[in-house]
Amino acid sequence: MIISIFLFSIFTFRFDLVKGDDVRKFPDYFKFGVSTAAHQIEGAWNVSDKGENIWDHLTHTKPSAIADGSNADVACDSYHLYKRDADMLVELGVDFYRFSISWSRLLPNGFSNKVSQDGLRYYNNLIDELLSRNITPFATLYHWDLPQKLQDLGGWTNPIIVNYFEDYARVAFESFGNRVKNWITINEIPQICTNGYAKDIYAPQVMSSGIGDYLCGHNALLSHARVWHLYNDTFRPTQKGRIGITLYSHWAEPESNSVEDKAISERGMQFLLGWQAHPIFSSEGDYPKVLKEAVYNRSMEQGYSHSRLPVFTLEEIKYLKGASDFLGLNHYTSVVFRNDNKTEWMSQFPNPSKERDLGYDSYFHANWPPTISAWFAVNPPGLKHLLNWIKNEYTNPEVIITENGYLTRGGLIDVDRINYINQNLQSVLEAILDDHCNVTAYSLWSLMDNYEWNDGYRFCFGLYEVDFKSENRTRRPRMSAYVYKEILRTRMINPYYLPSFSDFQYETYKSSASILQCHMKIFSISVIFLLMMHFLF
């Protein structure tokens, strides 16, 4: 019995394995944050003079587009509860908060002839609240909530969007730029354009596959560049901030080490990330050559008179090149591309489509743990490979990881999320310390559960759980919130760290059944363990 107790205490003792000289810490300059987006958290969809956006429109006119038929009319109600959000940021100890501004809250019609006083007040309050608590505001101008009035004109497929996006950005810089020094223009071109203008997944569900998506991407890139130049020329001299774009990419893991498989992965990366990044971050500018050739050739075969991929003028190529102060990166998962070109696989994509232009099928490696969502499998080393790919492809630009996170069905004990965070941050740490990738910040998606677009409220990405059934949208920290807090406090990753019972219990004990269940589990496992040991020795 004594031996078993001894063994048990060794087994459970939280010794600190990361002490000593070889401690791997995040560099001093490295910043940590958490991310959200206006439409996913604010609610208050029609208070005061807020205008309708494309997600209001989609969810109100076609609830069947959303897995649980829900909408973001109230969501986390952060419009009213932003002070509670700020409390949570302080609890976590983050350096910055990445939130987004709702275009149609600030400009109800989408146009800058009318600025909402209520919208101004809300974002001023939020920004002032953050600053008063020593949290750096990091504002995204566009996180998918286009004013419906602009969609009525074609949205991102109408080149005139460049002017209207510039007008909106100018109002934002004039109103908030004295206090907001970190800006992102646009969040994720592939999601906006592929899911919104090629498929019936995201608003506005314009199904113009292989044409509308490329056109949208083209105008989004030009809009970004216009706003970067606006800031650079007009606002930076006095406001002295920085502004970049956030791109989305999987890592395309080669199927094997063979030359052919590496070439497939490389071409896949150009279609995924190169499409968005090459015009801005490469030294030659413009779209990647493989993308231009593939879309041109297929367009000709298909009888079009010119490429479905729009063409940048020489002036535009110059205008875009270098037009970002950093590369914002959203990353969640890896894929493997395969040059099988199976007809059944391809038949799920319309003709024409970006997928057919690429011509590969894709799958998740059998070793990558699946998640509850079909688009997402866990491969933390992929993040390190991706960061290295960016470093080599674009001469080591500054990278800010603007999103990375994990989804569950809920519950406060989120060990899978904890592992995901630890392992992905480990990957980032290695990319910085071993490979000298210029990564300067990491922002976790998300501060709290929120409106997960066409998945509604089914999937939870939050460090904080939100009770969407409660009147005041009660937020409670998950176990991962304590782990993230500890990483930020120590600036290192300790995969053995678990929050002490008292930390965790304090916030959750009263209100949550799951913590009780967890205690019961730990208790019964301990008893079984002790009994086993007792019989063994």
- Binding ligand GBH (rule: CB under 6 A), the pick from 185, 195, 209, 239 is 195
**Is 255 one of the annotated active-site residues of the chain?**
no
**Is 471 one of the annotated active-site residues of the chain?**
no
Options 184-192, 212-220, 318-326, 356-364: segment touching ligand GBH (CB under 6 A)? 184-192
Options 58-66, 188-196, 479-487, 521-529: segment touching ligand GBH (CB under 6 A)? 188-196
| Residue 512 in contact with ligand GBH, rule: CB under 6 A | no
**Which residue number places its CB atom closest to ligand GBH?**
375
Rg (CA), the chain: 24
CB atoms within 10 A of CB 251: 25
For residues 294 and 304, give the distance between their C-alpha atoms in angstroms, rounded to a whole number: 14
| Residue 248 in contact with ligand GBH, rule: CB under 6 A | yes
Characterize the bridge pairing of strands 361-363 and 334-338. Answer: antiparallel
| Residue 219 in contact with ligand GBH, rule: CB under 6 A | no
| Residue 201 in contact with ligand GBH, rule: CB under 6 A | yes
Smallest distance from the beta carbon of 334 to ligand GBH, in angstroms?
Answer: 13
Contact (Cβ atoms closer than 8 angstroms) between residue 116 and residue 108? yes
- Binding ligand GBH (rule: CB under 6 A), the pick from 325, 361, 452, 465 is 452
Smallest distance from the beta carbon of 372 to ligand GBH, in angstroms?
Answer: 12
For residues 485 and 501, give the distance between their C-alpha atoms in angstroms, rounded to a whole number: 15
For residues 449 and 443, give the distance between their C-alpha atoms in angstroms, rounded to a whole number: 15
For residues 436 and 429, give the distance between their C-alpha atoms in angstroms, rounded to a whole number: 10
For residues 465 and 411, give the distance between their C-alpha atoms in angstroms, rounded to a whole number: 8
| Residue 188 in contact with ligand GBH, rule: CB under 6 A | yes
- Binding ligand GBH (rule: CB under 6 A), the pick from 394, 445, 464, 484 is 445
Options 162-170, 186-194, 312-320, 482-490: segment touching ligand GBH (CB under 6 A)? 186-194
Q: Of 52, 393, 403, 452, which residue is the catalytic one?
A: 403
Residue 313 burial class via C-beta count within 10 angstroms: exposed 0-12, middle 13-18, buried 19 and up: exposed
| Residue 213 in contact with ligand GBH, rule: CB under 6 A | no
Helices (H), 93-199: 103-106, 117-132, 148-151, 161-176, 189-190, 196-197
Options 128-136, 185-193, 265-273, 523-531: segment touching ligand GBH (CB under 6 A)? 185-193
CB atoms within 10 A of CB 502: 8
Options 183-191, 253-261, 414-422, 464-472: segment touching ligand GBH (CB under 6 A)? 183-191
Contact (Cβ atoms closer than 8 angstroms) between residue 470 and residue 420? no
Beta bridge partners of 97: 34, 137
- The CA dihedral of 511, 512, 515, 518, to the nearest 10 degrees, is 150
Number of residues that bind ligand GBH (CB under 6 A): 15
| Residue 442 in contact with ligand GBH, rule: CB under 6 A | no
Smallest distance from the beta carbon of 420 to ligand GBH, in angstroms?
Answer: 13
Of 88, 172, 177, 170, nearest to 130 (Cα)? 88
| Residue 173 in contact with ligand GBH, rule: CB under 6 A | no
Q: Of 42, 52, 129, 188, which residue is the catalytic one?
A: 188
| Residue 330 in contact with ligand GBH, rule: CB under 6 A | yes
For residues 5 and 282, give the distance between their C-alpha atoms in angstroms, rounded to a whole number: 61
Residues 12-51 within binding reach of ligand GBH (CB under 6 A)? 37, 40
Q: 316: part of which helix (H) or strand (E)? A: helix 314-320
| Residue 323 in contact with ligand GBH, rule: CB under 6 A | no
Token digits of residue 9 = 């205490």
Nearer to ligand GBH, 98 or 218 (CB): 98
Ramachandran region, residue 516 (left: φ > 0; alpha: ψ -120 to 50; beta: rest): alpha
Smallest distance from the beta carbon of 33 to ligand GBH, in angstroms?
Answer: 14
Nearer to ligand GBH, 122 or 461 (CB): 461
Residue 122 has phi, psi (to 5 degrees) of -60, -50
Can you give the binding site for ligand GBH, defined by CB under 6 A? 37, 40, 187-188, 191, 195, 201, 248, 330, 332, 375, 403, 445, 452, 461
Mind telling me the catalytic residues?
188, 403
